[in-house]
Structure 1
Amino acid sequence: MTLANNKARLRWACRRGMLELDVLFMPFVDEAWDHLNDEQKQVFERLLECDDPELFAWFMGHEECKDEQFKAMVQLILNRVKV
């Protein structure tokens, strides 16, 4: 079973070692997950497999993600947070 089929497991996977990431991921899953298409859901699940320092650098703008799918998902999440 993928995380996409079990929202509780997905929310658990969003709990990170950094509060800065928790406050991005948890509201995103609660508010936007159901509106994502299947490809976006798969990209988000893969994004959750990345290390916290790497995610932090991408979300804080310290580094640019080289993976185009991840870059688009990071931007989508940041745009949702700003609304």
Structure 2
Amino acid sequence: MAELFSKSRTKWACRRGMLELDVLLGPFVDEAYDALSEHHKFVFQRLVEMEDPDLFAWFMGHEQCPDAELNSMVQLILDRVRV
């Protein structure tokens, strides 16, 4: 299995070119990342490696992510925002 990024590197990877993504990803790292299992941290890291247009489409509900694990992480993040 690949090595986990440090939390600070993960937080840096959440800085995007779109404000809509910044306001979803940054607070998620601050508030929920530490509670994720190691596996889910890897999934989150995979998610933030995706391209901004794809992330935007998935988070805004314009498209569904074809990767089941990434799609589950998108839904987890969206569920935290809706609370």
> The TM-score by the shorter chain falls in which range?
over 0.9
| TM-score, reference length from structure 2 | 0.93
The equivalent of 1:59 in structure 2 is 59
Query: Alpha-carbon deviation of 1:48?
Result: 0.7
Decide which structure has greater helix share: 1
Say what the alpha-carbon RMSD is for the aligned residues: 0.9
Show CA shifts across 1:50-75 (max 9, x none): 00000000000000111000110000
2:4 and 2:41 in contact (8 A); partners too = no
Change (3 A) 1:34 1:26: same
Q: Find out whether 1:14 has 2:9 as its counterpart.
A: no
| 5+ long unaligned stretches in structure 1 | none
The equivalent of 2:69 in structure 1 is 69
- Report matched runs for 1:17-56 at 5 Å: 17-56=17-56
- Deviating above 6 A after TM superposition, structure 1's stretches of 4 or more consecutive aligned residues are none
Give percent identity, aligned residues only.
Answer: 63
Amino acid at match of 2:4: T
| TM-score, reference length from structure 1 | 0.93
Equivalenced residue count is: 81
